[in-house]
Amino acid sequence: MRPYSVIAVVACFTFVVGCESRPPVSDSVVLPAEATVGDMVSLWMEQAPDTLPKGLVWDSEAEHVAGRSLGLSEPMVLQVSSVPRVAHALLLWADLVVVTGPAEKTLYLVHLAHSDQGVRVDSDSLLDGELADAAYVTVTRTCPGEGTAYAGIINLATAMDVKCSGREELVLTGAAGRLKELLRTIAAF
Amino acid sequence: MKILTLTLVCVATAAFAKPAKPAEDFLSFPVPNGPFLLPAMTGTFEDATVADLIESYSEATGQYCIMDEETRSYAHSYKISSAKSKELSIPPDQLQVTFEHILASHGFVLDLLSTAEPRLIGIQSLNSSRRARVKAGAKFITESQIEEAAKHPAMYFNTVIHLPGVNTRQVTNALRAMFPDPMAASILPAGELPSVVLTASGPHLRELQALLREIRAEKQRADEAAASAQDKLPSDAGGTDEEGD
């Protein structure tokens, strides 16, 4: 066998290995480095409209955040299937939550969303990570220590932008991603 | 010649496209395949800023780092070192801890926003107006995970430490001086329960855990000593009674 043939075989093999290690590019989209929060939301609405069947609108206060840069270090390549999850993570980073109403979903600044706007969920689905990070939800939980741990929980909840009411039976409302961490902490009391 | 060129292209494709070791949870991070060199683009190490470090780290690990504009301007203004060396070379397995040490020493906090691909990392300056959100991003860890968390000086965690028999209100009041920045770290009593809730960076949590373990052990020793003294009391008292009779 001629040396060039051997080289060609090695070249083909390494090329195949190289290609296999790259993620498939067919169903991916690119978010530019200079993208804003609003660009991310537009991308979500374009690429995954089935996850927003009744549409997504901005609350007037939240709309001011739309023009804020996401601050990406480089253009982000993401699979279309991961767009809603990434959008939720980036929205929460920008202190926005997705409130599900009877009609459409609305983006609110997390501290301006009202506690009665949270969708009631059970804590198991929250702890299992089944809910998207920025989804605005409400869970109830018995306060440990027969209500005596209330003050500590209020402090923790406030730091996480979670609204807390009730004393022996806590009603907690906030972004799913943060509520999950709060519930896990309370469970360890 | 063409075949040789093709070979080089293919070998390069295989070498550079190979993904970094996948990470599974928020305490695991991708490890690059080769040594990490900084700077890649700025000339000499003494010119490198925290922003250069973040950009190079992002490229080497395949993670996306995001910063708000205020944090970005801080990152561009802080030089990493005044050392005259040409470059900083970090072994792959030491990249994460070194990266976080440099971030933490310049007042930056790392928040892992997504563990699934694409992995997203939020970076926040403790000097920025959004510093209060540092605690909002703290992840819960169990006491047994503190040792692992200690390898993450730029990450913040919540944990609960049990202190049976200890007056947790007294302890938290006494230790509050160890939390000079309550916006970023804190210690709270869990009501009447014998537990305290800590929010702090990984290494800080380990220090606090060691201290609280010592308090717990001291309380246990004091209880044992008291119980032992109590055991002696009835016989002494009984002897006195008999004498009295």
Reduce the secondary structure of B42-95 to three states and give it as a string: CCCHHHCEHHHHHHHHHHHHCCEEEECHHHHHHHHHCECCCCCCCCEEECHHHH
Flag if B14 and A18 touch (Cβ within 8 Å): yes
Cβ-contact B63, B3 below 8 angstroms:
no
pLDDT for res B17: 43
Report helix angle A83-93 to A176-187, nearest 10.
70
Can you give the three-state secondary structure of chain B, one letter per residue?
A: CHHHHHHHHHHHHHHHHCCCCCCCCCCCCCCCCCCEEECCCCCCHHHCEHHHHHHHHHHHHCCEEEECHHHHHHHHHCECCCCCCCCEEECHHHHHHHHHHHHHHCCEEEEEEECCCCCEEEEEECCCCCHHHHHHHCEECCHHHHHHHCCCCCCEEEEEEECCCCCHHHHHHHHHHHCCCCCCCEEEECCCCCEEEEEEEHHHHHHHHHHHHHHHHHHHHHHHHHHHHHHHHHHHHHHHHHHHC
pLDDT for res A151: 87
Flag if A152 and B117 touch (Cβ within 8 Å): no
pLDDT for res A82: 95
Flag if B142 and A188 touch (Cβ within 8 Å): yes
**Which of B16, B55, B158 comes nearest A73 by C-beta?**
B55
pLDDT for res A183: 96
pLDDT for res B155: 97
Give which of B97, B94, B99 is closest to B75, Cα–Cα. Answer: B99
User: Which chain B residue lies closest to A148 (C-alpha atoms)?
Assistant: B191
Cβ-contact A169, A186 below 8 angstroms:
no
Residue with the bigger pLDDT between B19 and B199: it is B199
Cβ-contact B215, B171 below 8 angstroms:
yes
Q: State how far the Cα of B4 lies from the Cα of B92, in Å rounded to an integer.
A: 31
pLDDT for res B176: 87
pLDDT for res B37: 81
Flag if A74 and B3 touch (Cβ within 8 Å): no
Beta partners for B122?
A: B66, B111
Q: What is the dihedral of CA B130, B135, B138, B140, to 10 degrees?
A: -160
Q: State how far the Cα of B29 lies from the Cα of B92, in Å rounded to an integer.
A: 11
pLDDT for res B7: 52
What is the phi-psi region of residue B60: left when phi exceeds 0, alpha when psi lies from -120 to 50, beta otherwise? alpha
pTM across the whole model: 0.83
Flag if A89 and B118 touch (Cβ within 8 Å): no
Residues of chain A found within 8 Å of residue B190, distances taken between Cβ atoms: 144-145, 149, 152, 189
Mean pLDDT on B6-32: 59
Element (H, E) at A56: strand A56-58
Listed ranges A124-128, A180-184, B233-237; the one with the highest mean pLDDT: A180-184
Residues of chain A found within 8 Å of residue B193, distances taken between Cβ atoms: 144-145, 148-149, 189
Please, which pLDDT band fits residue A10 given cuts at 50, 70 and 90?
A: low
**Which of B3, B58, B191 comes nearest A4 by C-beta?**
B3
User: Which chain B residue lies closest to A187 (C-alpha atoms)?
Assistant: B160
Q: State how far the Cα of B5 lies from the Cα of B157, in Å rounded to an integer.
A: 50
**Which of B67, B118, B191 comes nearest A71 by C-beta?**
B67
Flag if B7 and A12 touch (Cβ within 8 Å): no
Mean pLDDT on B152-165: 95
Number of inter-chain CB pairs under 8 A, A vs B: 153
**Average pLDDT score over chain A:** 88
Residues of chain A found within 8 Å of residue B171, distances taken between Cβ atoms: none
Give which of B60, B20, B24, B23 is closest to B39, Cα–Cα. Answer: B60
Residue with the bigger pLDDT between A54 and B74: it is B74
For B122-135, what is each residue's pLDDT tens digit?
999 999 988 888 89
pLDDT of A14 above 60: no
Between residues 113 and 142 of chain A, which touch chain B (CB distance below 8 Å)?
133
pLDDT for res B2: 56
Cβ-contact A110, A175 below 8 angstroms:
yes
Flag if B139 and A181 touch (Cβ within 8 Å): yes
Flag if B18 and A18 touch (Cβ within 8 Å): yes
Does residue B118 have a cis bond before it (omega within 30 degrees)? yes
Please, which pLDDT band fits residue B177 given cuts at 50, 70 and 90?
A: confident
The ipTM estimated for the assembled molecules is: 0.83
Q: State how far the Cα of A102 lies from the Cα of B43, in Å rounded to an integer.
A: 57
Mean pLDDT on B164-175: 91
Residues of chain B found within 8 Å of residue A149, distances taken between Cβ atoms: 190-193
**Average pLDDT score over chain B:** 83
Residue with the bigger pLDDT between A12 and A120: it is A120
For B77-111, what is each residue's pLDDT tens digit?
998 876 666 677 889 999 999 999 999 999 999 99
**Residue A178 contacts B where some CB pair is shorter than 8 Å:** yes
Flag if A71 and B139 touch (Cβ within 8 Å): no
**Residue A48 contacts B where some CB pair is shorter than 8 Å:** no
pLDDT for res B48: 84
